[in-house]
Amino acid sequence: METLNAISALTALGHTTRLAAFRLLVEAGPAGRMAGDIATALQVPPATLSFHLKELVQAGLVESESQGRNVCYRANFGAMTGLIEYLTHNCCAGSPSEQCVPTVPECKC
């Protein structure tokens, strides 16, 4: 992941509603969730949610798919992993200490 992509992703996640939506989509796995279901779960008006989901899509953290008149949103797990790898690259300057090695749970998607 390039620095500008990481900044874009972190900026997108730097809002309460967007972070909550992204975490909800990560929890949903590859099946994703419909926009209306996300709005209901987060208790956010549809227009407001649409704005926030658009920001996550533009940052590359979320993908959308039209299904008739509805839109299904899914977390982009590759982008999420790329961001984690970017943030932890060369952690502790290559220290051999096992305490320094960041652990990333394996996604069971």
Q: What does the pLDDT read at residue 19?
A: 98
In single-letter form, the type of residue at position 101 comes to V
DSSP string covering 22-55: HHHHHHHGGG-EEHHHHHHHHT--HHHHHHHHHH
Q: The whole model's pTM is what?
A: 0.85
**Please, what sign has the CA dihedral across residues 53, 30, 4, 105?**
positive
Residue 73 has φ and ψ, to the nearest 5°, of -115, 140
pLDDT tens sequence for the chain (109 residues): 899 999 999 999 999 999 999 999 999 999 999 999 999 999 999 999 999 999 999 999 999 999 999 999 999 999 999 999 898 887 777 666 666 666 666 666 5
Q: What is the largest CA-CA distance in the chain?
A: 53
pLDDT of residue 92: 76
- Cβ–Cβ under 8 Å, residues 18 and 55: yes
